[in-house]
Structure 1
Amino acid sequence: MSLQVDLGNFDSRGAVYNFALKMTFRAVLLAFLFNLAVLPLGYALGLMPLSLADAVKLSVAGSWLFGGAVSGALALLTGHVIRELSVSRAEFERLSRTDMLSGLLNRRAFNAALAETGPGASLAILDIDRFKAVNDGHGHCAGDEVIRSVAGILREVFEDEHLIARLGGEEFGVIIRGGGLAQRIGLVERARNLVEARVIRCDGAAIHTTISAGIAEFASDLRPESVYSAADCALYRAKAGGRNRVVHETEEGNCDRCDKPAAEASAAGMNPFIGEPVPVAG
């Protein structure tokens, strides 16, 4: 008879009542077995004036009345406490993976997903164009509103099928799963078009913005940081090519900005774009 408690089972009130019911039956059974065990001792010592049948009936009633009622109430209270702890733990975990401004996943959650993604997916790194000019011209509140608006568009385009995260500042990352390459690129283009068409209003000002994006493909022979580096270089080419563009890693162009930092970081065993140690093969 196991008394082990799994906090994952306390995600609903029904689970709490189920827990209390199980604990009540266990308590009743234990109380009844205890009473049966002490009955012979009571008769041997002359402390039991009742007949055996009456003593058994009294044991059953006492087990339910005291063991069942008291343990049931305590189990119900304990179950509610455990459920609150379970809900709090789940909420804490969710908050630790969420960017508070945009409501998207944060970099921690993105890095974890990046390491687990395999072939058949694309990585898009998106950056709001001339974001500093928005902050300088309209204030940081307007900048925050622009970030929230772009995040909303990304949610609208990619929905729950793909992973969307704010990587920091005005930069976002999307892991696009499934479909063909053209379809995945088309989703990023759709997001770019929607951002370009959106008018963001803040304190009476109408703000227009655009995004640039770089896309790279996951492959079985590529490490996640290599995919990130390729997408980041494609983003750099999109910026250098005039902004408000989507560039795939296969498009021709140089990325001198990435070569030297990447080489230096690789020699140091670090990923220059994710900012975390990279395991070095033996």
Structure 2
Amino acid sequence: MKTCIQCGEPSNSNYCSNCGQKQNIRRLTLASFFSDFFSRIYGLDGAFPNTIIGLTKNPAKVAQDYIRGIRGKYVGPVGYYFLIFTIFFLLVQLSDYTLNDYLPKTENFAESIVDNNNLKEGQNAREIALAVKQRIFNNLQYVHVFLVPILAFWCGVWFKKSNYNFIENTVLSFFIHAQGTVVNLNGFVIFIFTGLKNNTIINLIIILYYAWSMSLFYTGKAKLSSLCKGLIAYLFTYISFLLFVAVIVLISLIVRGRVS
């Protein structure tokens, strides 16, 4: 009887009954290296393609299946979220562009909302906006993690008649935030090859996707009333986040003004 090379338990089959380790191991080759890589990414029985296709066709079903306990078929919401962000950031690193090239230049807006006659104040606002923006870009995946519970909270407020609790709301929130990043990833690919940003179109697609997903998840149908509630939940989520950022910028301006 053979002994498992990973856990040491006796095993006569191709896979260890104790830990699942494959027993017939051949010498590592380039083909086996990439085969192992893609099997990790796709998961058993194609969990990754099942998840990305499922969230594109019917995000509510994926989230509801996961909540009901059908979890082997999909990548979990947190794992899928970080996997998509990893792919996105890897693509950015391999390209000749940065997120600052692709996304709107919010520092111009920050400069425009202060007193136009005060050049120093305008410059301070621009510098702080740039610093905040860069910090957000450097930690984008964690910023979106911050948005996940906010969206889950507002979903609970606007869809309070549903039977889902806060944790179950975060399942949908993680999935649709990740899928929104898939849309942005495709937009970035278009930008790489064409130079077209299409930020307005991309953002519109994402907003409609969020509203559609929430409508299906909470009511089972894409009704106008539930679509509107989904839009409001989305808007409240980002307004909450922008208010938080605005407070940070305001405090920074006050502190910088006192130091100056």
Q: TM-score range by the shorter chain?
A: 0.3 to 0.5
Which structure: greater strand fraction? 1
- The higher radius of gyration belongs to 1
Give the structure-2-normalised TM-score: 0.32
**Greater relative contact order structure (CA < 8 Å, 6+ sep):** 2
TM-score under structure 1 length normalisation: 0.31
Q: Which has the higher helix share?
A: 2
